[in-house]
Amino acid sequence: MSGSKQRCKDLLGALSDYLDGDADERLCAEIERHMADCPDCRVLVDTLRKTIILYREREAGEGLPSDVQTRLYRRLNLEDLLPGT
């Protein structure tokens, strides 16, 4: 890491809040000021953000497979109440 490594380390603990939009204005400004001077932290934040996005994108639109659903209702003795029957 270039610049002051200690500074990078201090900000590391705040990155989740920063990426989730939970950091206050002062902290955001501080992180952004540091990133302007520290390419390493900029790459870290960018790749961390991308990592989060890749996992979130995958979650959309996955339902319960119908065979899994059927077996669940059978196990619970709810076959007569299976949706769509």
Partner 1 sequence: MSENDQLSLDALRSGDRDEFARMVEAYSPRIYRLALRMLGDAQEAEDVLQETFLNAFRSLSRFEGRSSLGTWLHRIATNQALMRLRKREVPTFSVDEPVDDPDLGELPRQLVDWCCLPEEEFMTAEAQSQLDAAVEKLSPALRAVFTLRELQGLSTRETSEVLGISESAVKTRLLRARLQLREHLTAYFAERVQEVGYER
Binding region for Zn ion (CB under 5 A):
8, 38, 41
68 binds partner 1 (CB under 8 A): yes
**Could you please report the per-residue DSSP string of 67-83?**
HHHHHHHHHTT-GGG-T
Of residues 5 and 71, the one with the C-beta less far from Zn ion: 5
Query: Segment 7-36, which members bind partner 1 (CB under 8 A)?
Result: 8-9, 12-13, 15-17
Instruction: Say how many C-beta atoms besides its own lie within 10 A of residue 49's C-beta.
Output: 13
Of the candidate residues 21, 24, 25, 50, the single one contacting partner 1 (CB under 8 A) = 50
**Element holding 41 (H helix, E strand):** helix 39-59
